């Protein structure tokens, strides 16, 4: 018998698996008991209800999105309301405007933020910080790796966490972004926050 279910155990979360830190996201979803699928082709995309764009190298992911013919289908799905969570390079790919990007670097223009790549310094300057996330009762230990900085945000963007004056976790409708790597913190609260929207 097929039962319809409103909880996300019946949904499949896709993780864009072209380059970068996709495996750590999958592990978090697996430990939460959520169906997870690596997305490498437009056919894979058709099998998922939500999508995570991982950290990595946004210029490389941009090129691979084009060569795998995923760029346009992902853009369409996101603009049609598919829940999407972009972390670090994934946030860059979702932003409306990229500063210090490569001239040919693409973005989905899905959230009204301007981001500056590598704004917190080079790889050697990566750092960790405890951040207060709206609705969480204790701080989240966030890992920043050559992190992009949100340098501007529009009025329809909700800030969920800040580091000093900068938004580092934000949402606009179906699009959530983090400038850090929540999949590396051994703390699944941010993934669960994303799953609530699915």
Q: Which of 186, 165, 166 is nearest to 178 (CA)?
A: 166
CA 145/CA 181 separation, integer angstroms: 8
Identify which of residues 94 and 145 has a Cβ nearer to ligand GLN in the complex: 145
**CB-CB contact of 88 with 145 (8 Å):** yes
Report in angstroms how near the CB of residue 57 gets to ligand GLN at its nearest.
Answer: 5
Identify which of residues 35 and 118 has a Cβ nearer to ligand GLN in the complex: 118
Report in angstroms how near the CB of residue 8 gets to ligand GLN at its nearest.
Answer: 25
Q: Which residues pair with 123 in a beta bridge?
A: none
Residues designated as active site? 88, 181, 183
CA 80/CA 128 separation, integer angstroms: 35
**CB-CB contact of 61 with 93 (8 Å):** yes
Report in angstroms how near the CB of residue 101 gets to ligand GLN at its nearest.
Answer: 8
| DSSP 8-state symbol, 32 | T
**CB-CB contact of 146 with 189 (8 Å):** no
Report in angstroms how near the CB of residue 58 gets to ligand GLN at its nearest.
Answer: 3
Instruction: List interacting residues with ligand GLN (CB under 6 A).
Output: 55-58, 88-89, 92, 117-118, 145-146
Identify which of residues 58 and 68 has a Cβ nearer to ligand GLN in the complex: 58
CA 53/CA 66 separation, integer angstroms: 15
- Per DSSP, the three-state class of 184 is helix
Identify which of residues 50 and 88 has a Cβ nearer to ligand GLN in the complex: 88
């Amino acid at each position: 018998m097929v039962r319809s279910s409103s909880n996300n155990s019946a949904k499949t979360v896709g993780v864009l698996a072209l380059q970068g830190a996709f495996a750590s996201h999958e592990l978090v979803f697996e430990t939460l008991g959520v169906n997870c699928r690596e997305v490498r082709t437009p056919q894979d995309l058709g099998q998922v209800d939500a999508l995570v764009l991982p950290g990595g190298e946004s210029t490389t992911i941009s090129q691979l999105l084009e060569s795998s013919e995923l760029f346009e289908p992902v853009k369409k799905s996101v603009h049609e309301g598919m829940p999407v969570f972009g972390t670090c390079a994934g946030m860059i790919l979702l932003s409306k405007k990229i500063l210090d990007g490569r001239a040919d670097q693409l973005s989905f223009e899905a959230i009204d933020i301007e981001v500056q790549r590598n704004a917190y310094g080079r790889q050697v300057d990566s750092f960790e910080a405890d951040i207060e996330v709206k609705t969480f009762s204790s701080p989240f230990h966030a890992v920043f790796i050559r992190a992009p900085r949100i340098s501007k945000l529009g009025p329809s963007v909700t800030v969920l966490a800040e580091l000093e004056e900068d938004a580092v976790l934000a949402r606009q409708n179906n699009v959530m972004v983090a400038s850090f790597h929540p999949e590396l913190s051994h703390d699944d609260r941010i993934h669960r926050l994303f799953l609530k929207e699915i």
